């Protein structure tokens, strides 16, 4: 999907891919990396990589492939408070002005929406 989005705006796809690969060289290939691209009128661009989604971290912490199809009814797995705190610390990079406690509450909400139980360890 990136190629068509960049191509529609006349941006250099190869340049983007080269820069993206350089910035994400430390990530494993299966890790999703969100990107925000800003395209300018002169066909140049700038992009910012974000941390992987909370759902990715929660699936890894719980050891599951996907969340529950019926959250609130079916339990897909469980995740500990320590994992929630660690995920919140990682996500705080994207939201430096948001308190860690608020990010942790958001992570708990995402876990519940995926059918994960948050347990004390």
For the record, the structure tokens of 97 come out as: 């002005």
In this predicted structure, the answer to whether residue 1 has a pLDDT above a threshold of 80 is: no
Sign of the four-CA dihedral 72, 77, 80, 85: negative
**DSSP codes, 64-82:** -SS--SSTTTS--EEEEHH
Q: Give pLDDT tens digits for 8-17.
A: 888 888 999 9
Model pLDDT, residue 111: 94
Q: Which residue has the tokens 């912490």?
A: 61
pLDDT digits (tens, 9 = 90+) for 17-34: 999 999 999 999 999 999
Report, as an integer, the average pLDDT of 31-39: 92
- Model confidence pLDDT, tens digit, residues 49-104: 999 999 999 999 999 999 888 888 889 999 999 999 999 999 999 999 999 999 99
CA-to-CA dists, residue 61 to 45, 68, 110, angstroms: 35, 15, 13
Q: What's the token pair of residue 121?
A: 């360890």
């Amino acid at each position: 999907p990136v190629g068509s989005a960049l191509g529609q705006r006349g941006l250099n796809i190869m340049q983007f891919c080269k820069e993206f690969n350089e910035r994400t060289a430390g990530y494993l290939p299966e890790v999703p990396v969100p990107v925000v691209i800003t395209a300018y009128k002169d066909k140049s661009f700038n992009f910012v990589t974000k941390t992987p989604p909370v759902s990715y971290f929660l699936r890894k912490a719980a050891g599951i492939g996907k969340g529950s199809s019926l959250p609130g009814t079916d339990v897909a797995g469980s995740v500990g408070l320590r994992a929630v705190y660690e995920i919140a610390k990682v996500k705080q990079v994207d939201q430096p002005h948001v308190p860690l406690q608020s990010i942790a509450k958001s992570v708990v909400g995402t876990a519940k929406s995926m059918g994960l139980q948050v347990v004390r360890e």
